[in-house]
Amino acid sequence: MYYLAVDIGASSGRHILGYVRDGKIEIEEVYRFKNGNVKRNGHLCWELDRLFDEIKNGMKKCAELGKKPAYMGIDCFGVDFVLLDKNNEILGDTVAYRDSRTDGMPEAVYAKIPYDTLYARTGVQTQRFNSIYQLYSIKTTSDNLEKAERYLHIAEYFNYLLTGVQKNEFTMTSTTQMMNLETKDFDTEILSTLGFPSKIFTKPEMPGIVVGKLTDSMQAETGLDCTVLLAPAHDTASAVMAVPTTEPCIYISSGTWSLMGTVLPKMNGSLAGRDAGMTNEGAHDGQIRYLKNIMGLWIIQSIKKELHDEYSFGQLCDMAIASEYPGKIDVNDDMFLAPESMLDAIRTYLAQKGEAAPEALGDILHCVYHSLAQSYGETVREIESITGNAYDAIHIIGGGSQDNYLSQLTAEYTGKAVYAGPIEATAIGNLMMQMLASGELKSIDEAKATVSESFPIIQIQ
């Protein structure tokens, strides 16, 4: 039986087929497409029409190959959403989280709801791109919120286009800073205080349930007749599901962002956690991913793009290794979120901090690598202090797990055993949920053991 994971990241998307054979999960990438922001009406926006065309193209590819999935699920980046009108048409542009429209919005929200109160109810750290601030920006600059009949996150919207069924999902909703993690529902007091109409939100559903069958028109267009399941829609929730151990551990979902944390049975709303920038997000089973958002490989990806892809990631890494530059940056500083020039932003930061000017590209790359690993070390110590738990191991999952140099630096700066893999953790977690929902895998313990047997997991010495 085939399963299809549609995994949409900020820079690319892919369709990965999975199946179980001889007790192992086999995966096959059948389609890949580019993603990114475009400038529209002065804002950074997502091209949803094109992305949905790409989703259908990948589905058609499955049909052409004769590998037709019985189930499929979609995961995506968090916080971004669409508002639909009474005709289920999108209101306005679908603005991306890196856009500047939320500048000043956290302060405007706090004037109505103090941050202490907001954190106590949602457990979510302040990041200016959170859904709550995006929605408040819409409320203060247009009448689209007044016209809205439904609020759907990007993955939920694509599920709707495939099936005609509209559902909000738990792991994605938990990133919005509008969900009460005690009730696992949108917080009506927060919504009413900010003037958000409660009618546009529905109680989030847990991953694993059926969204619906493909509509007749989708079946005709794609050549598939499959059931859409609710995957852990937030890509990090899918990735963390694929951590190949049942033992308590620290994970780093490593890609454009580094999401570093652990899984807890319930929300930790402590002041220490709040002050450390820790956030509480939903896991696939209703538990809590207690984590910190770290800027991650975005900085290196941006440098590579700024250099017109003249160098491979391997070549950039070699330059970093060859340097001994001592300066560090705070990788989570807002100036690295979406600068016009990442290289200039790093040089400016270092100059402002009184660090020696980097003389070569390798110096900047060395600085970024060691600054990331230093951030990992600080975060491990914060998590252990706040939770009172000690962890022996760090599991690095996702595309960043291929970066052996960063993995080695992580072991050095954290003092922990480091395990790298699986690489395709997000898609694998998406597939695991489908396999559990279908009954082909019987339990999460069996699923994690199967992942451990199916994919290379490298221990960093």
Catalytic residues: 235
218 three-state secondary structure? helix
C-alpha–C-alpha distance, residues 12 and 434, integer Å: 22
What per-residue string of b and e applies to 316-355 under the rule 16 or more CB within 10 Å gives b? bbebbeebebebbbebbeeebbbbeebeebbbebbeeeeb
Q: How far apart are CA 214 and CA 218, in angstroms?
A: 6
Q: Beta-carbon neighbour count of residue 449 at 10 Å?
A: 16
DSSP 126: P
As a residue count, the chain comes to: 461
| Helix, strand, coil distribution of the chain in percent, nearest 5 | 40, 20, 35
Q: Which residue has the tokens 């892919």?
A: 14
**Residue type for 269, please?**
G
Distance from the Cα of residue 22 to its chain's centroid: 31
Q: Indicate the pairing of strand 250-254 with strand 12-21.
A: unpaired
- SS3 (DSSP) at 154: helix
Q: Does residue 368 contact residue 361 with C-beta atoms inside 8 Å?
A: no
User: How is residue 311 written in tokens?
Assistant: 């160098």
- Please answer whether residues 371 and 329 qualify as being in contact, where contact means their C-beta atoms are separated by less than 8 angstroms: yes
